[in-house]
Chains A and B, each alone.
Chain A
Amino acid sequence: GAVVSQHPSRVICKSGTSVKIECRSLDFQATTMFWYRQFPKKSLMLMATSNEGSKATYEQGVEKDKFLINHASLTLSTLTVTSAHPEDSSFYICSASQPQGASWEQFFGPGTRLTVL
């Protein structure tokens, strides 16, 4: 159980275009999903926390108008990189949170490799 998928697994786009990445929890309902970004040879950096039916909470330095997050259902969250530029090229990873007893555990998707030309 606790499987999280992402689509697409990799995408190449031209500078100035927008790209949408989907994150799905396949076998559980996730009230909270998280979006991370990872640059080469760096650690994961949290971008935003997404709660179903409400606005996402963005980390400091992450532009909410550039990285649009929608969490319309308990099994799907989307991240749209608007007007992408080469510096947005990165590995984007989502996670979905599921209660485990009194705690909340995160289960990660396989990631999406974005390359902006």
Chain B
Amino acid sequence: DAKTTQPTSMDCAEGRAANLPCNHSTISGNEYVYWYRQIHSQGPQYIIHGLKNNETNEMASLIITEDRKSSTLILPHATLRDTAVYYCIVRPYSGAGSYQLTFGKGTKLSVIP
């Protein structure tokens, strides 16, 4: 049980912002939202994580709704190299269960020239 729901696939034009939604309506108070991506035939790559505040790093921004039941990963200027499967994962920040990552089916993002 991945505890998250994501669209199966999305397309984005190169240079435009890619907005990837994720529903996690059963998220608990001590669970963070993590995003990873997997480029074809490679291992997953960490992107960003957050608890309730919006977060930004050099790769992406993470917008979490006030009720924390959903979030959006934003790639501000998508490039062809951003074509990958994006996984939204909820997990405890520490304590029991914090070791493991449960991958769902993710969203396959295709960036189109």
User: In the complex, are the beta carbons of A46 and B100 less than 8 A apart?
Assistant: yes
Contact of B94 among A43, A91, A102, A113 (CB under 8 A): A102
Q: List A43-63 residues whose CB lies under 8 Å from chain B.
A: 43-46, 49
Separation in Å of the B32 CB from the closest CB of chain A?
Answer: 8
Does residue B57 face the partner (Cβ distance < 8 Å to A)? no
- Bound form: Cα–Cα A104–B96 in Å: 11
The total of Cβ contacts below 8 Å across the A-B interface reads: 51
A49 touches B93 (CB 8 A): no
Query: B43 to A110, Cβ gap below 8 A?
Result: yes
Chain B residues whose C-beta falls within 8 Å of the C-beta of A110 in the assembled complex? 42-43
Cα separation A49 to B102 with both chains bound (whole Å): 13
The answer to whether B99 and A32 have CB atoms under 8 Å apart is: yes
Known: A102-B94, A103-B93. A111 touches B42 (CB 8 A): yes
Nearest Cβ on chain A to B53's Cβ, whole angstroms: 16
The total of chain B residues at the interface (CB under 8 A) is: 20
Asked if A15 is an interface residue, CB under 8 A from chain B, the answer is: no
CB contacts (< 8 Å) of A6 on chain B: these are 43
Q: Give the CA-CA distance A34 to B44 in the complex, in Å.
A: 13
Which residue in chain B gives the minimum CB-CB distance to A46?
B100
**B94–A106 CB distance below 8 A:** no
Chain A residues in contact with chain B, CB under 8 A?
Answer: 4, 6, 32, 34, 36, 43-46, 49, 91, 93, 95, 97, 102-111, 113
A-B contact pairs, 9 of them (CB 8 A): A43-B87, A45-B103, A46-B102, A95-B101, A103-B94, A104-B94, A104-B99, A108-B44, A111-B43
